[in-house]
Amino acid sequence: MTKPLLTINDMSITFTSPDEADIEAVRQVDLTLTPGKTLALVGESGCGKSVTARAVLRLLDKNAKIPTGEILFDTGSGAVDIAKLKSDSLAMRALRGAEISMIFQEPMSSLSPVHTIGDQVDEIIILHDRLNKKQARERTVSLLDQVGVPGARDRANAYPFELSGGLRQRAMIAMALACTPKLLIADEPTTALDVTTQAQILDLLRQLQDDFGMAMLFITHDLGVVAEIADDIAVMYLGDVVEQGDVFDVFRAPKHPYTQALMNSVPRLMRKAERQRLTPIKGTVPSPKDRPVGCAFTSRCPHAFAPCPTVRPERTQIGADHVARCHLLTHVREEAMA
Ligand SMILES: Nc1ncnc2c1ncn2[C@@H]1O[C@H](COP(=O)(O)OP(=O)(O)OP(=O)(O)O)[C@@H](O)[C@H]1O
């Protein structure tokens, strides 16, 4: 079995506020990512996807704490527990950018508007590889070319505002890959793009993953994108990972009512002839302040029964590479055993 690159064990994330009780935005999450593979984090808005990803880079807001758990990252010469590193420590800064980088939905949040894209990529290469400006520019041009920026040598002199959304996204990907990270975190990188550009960027990421062998933690609320890009999926609801496993296994036989509801709320081309009816998930995600002690999905679950609001379901193994937290799984098992 391949050694994991990233292992998150029992990680919780809380936010403090001066006049309210702490908010537990992420609750005892376990995730594993192996080199060369893509793990998609999915779920509705506010379920904790971005906060989980930002914890890996220690880019959480100042009022955030990681009170329990570990985030083990394999540096090649041993594992480092990122949860124990200070955000501005030398060790964390060495990991950020060099071993782990991130791309965002909105490239302007990581590209400087007052520097050309070439200068911005050069700067990372110079810092990381100690090349001179001329050598760095050669690498920048080849990187921009590799991520599909046409006329890369000339375009390197462009400012971000002079590029289309798709080209800005490609420039940001070039920046993120400038020091060949082992882990790329992608936070909804295609959500703001039209479908054709979205498909091109997904293709590009897959191809770069083959070329560079990096692992990807891919955040999206789009199950179509998951099917395109991911090997594994973790479904989050209100800070809990309710189901996770191999994408094929989870898509073929989703076990958690939330995963089932997510899948029933997206159109499928195959069902068109049957005049499919989409079933939106009733209600909205409650605030983490109102999360029940038991299963997070209780208030919206069509199958909720006695233990759900008060007892947190255990992680139940369904297949070799498929787990879910739902009382229905253990309930059925107990009945079957009786
Ligand atoms: N600085 C903060 N202070 C208090 N609560 C916060 C803070 N940052 C995030 N949260 C809360 O943490 C929870 C998880 O947010 P997060 O951004 O991770 O959700 P998400 O699943 O990525 O949603 P989206 O798809 O909309 O980006 C939300 O309830 C959010 O309000």
What's residue 264's pLDDT? 87
Distance 23 CA to ligand 1 centre (A): 10
What's residue 291's pLDDT? 86
CB of 64 within 8 A of CB of 51?
yes
Q: Which atom of ligand 1 is nearest to the CA of 62?
A: 1
In the block, residue with structure tokens 């006695």? 306
End-to-end CA distance of the chain: 36
Q: Which atom of ligand 1 is nearest to the CA of 53?
A: 18
What's residue 271's pLDDT? 55
Residues with CB under 6 A from ligand 1: 15, 23, 25, 43, 45-51, 61, 63, 221, 288
In the block, residue with structure tokens 């369904």? 318
Domain locations along the chain: 6-99+181-337, 109-180
CB of 257 within 8 A of CB of 326?
yes
Q: How far apart are CA 71 and CA 69, in angstroms?
A: 7
Distance 51 CA to ligand 1 centre (A): 6
Q: Which of 22, 23, 63, 104 to mutate to test the pocket of ligand 1 (most atoms within 8 A of CB)?
A: 23
Distance 45 CA to ligand 1 centre (A): 8
Bridge pairing between strands 232-237 and 38-42: parallel
Q: Which atom of ligand 1 is nearest to the CA of 13?
A: 12
CB of 321 within 8 A of CB of 310?
no
Distance 191 CA to ligand 1 centre (A): 17
Q: Which of 24, 49, 187 to mutate to test the pocket of ligand 1 (most atoms within 8 A of CB)?
A: 49
Distance 105 CA to ligand 1 centre (A): 15
* Diameter over CA atoms, the chain: 74
Whole-number Cα distances in Å, 96 to 38, 110, 117, 190:
19, 14, 20, 22
Q: Return the beta strands (E) in the chain as ranges.
A: 6-17, 20-33, 38-42, 64-74, 79-81, 100-103, 183-187, 215-219, 232-237, 240-246, 316-319, 322-324
Q: Which overall architecture, per CATH, does domain 6-99+181-337 show?
A: 3-Layer(aba) Sandwich (3.40)
What's residue 265's pLDDT? 80
Q: Which atom of ligand 1 is nearest to the CA of 48?
A: 18
Q: Report which protein residue has its CA nearest ligand 1's atom 25.
A: 45
Q: Which atom of ligand 1 is nearest to the CA of 52?
A: 18
Distance 93 CA to ligand 1 centre (A): 24
Q: Which of 17, 42, 50 to mutate to test the pocket of ligand 1 (most atoms within 8 A of CB)?
A: 50
Q: What is the pLDDT of residues 82-102, one digit of tens each?
A: 999 999 999 999 898 789 999
Q: How far apart are CA 256 and CA 43, in angstroms?
A: 13
Q: How far apart are CA 209 and CA 188, in angstroms?
A: 17
Distance 48 CA to ligand 1 centre (A): 6
Amino acid identity at 170 = R
Distance 286 CA to ligand 1 centre (A): 12
Q: Report which protein residue has its CA nearest ligand 1's atom 28.
A: 46
Alpha helices in 30-164 (DSSP H): 49-57, 90-95, 117-129, 133-146, 152-155
Question: Helix, strand or coil for residue 158?
Answer: coil
What residues in the chain have per-residue pLDDT under 50?
338
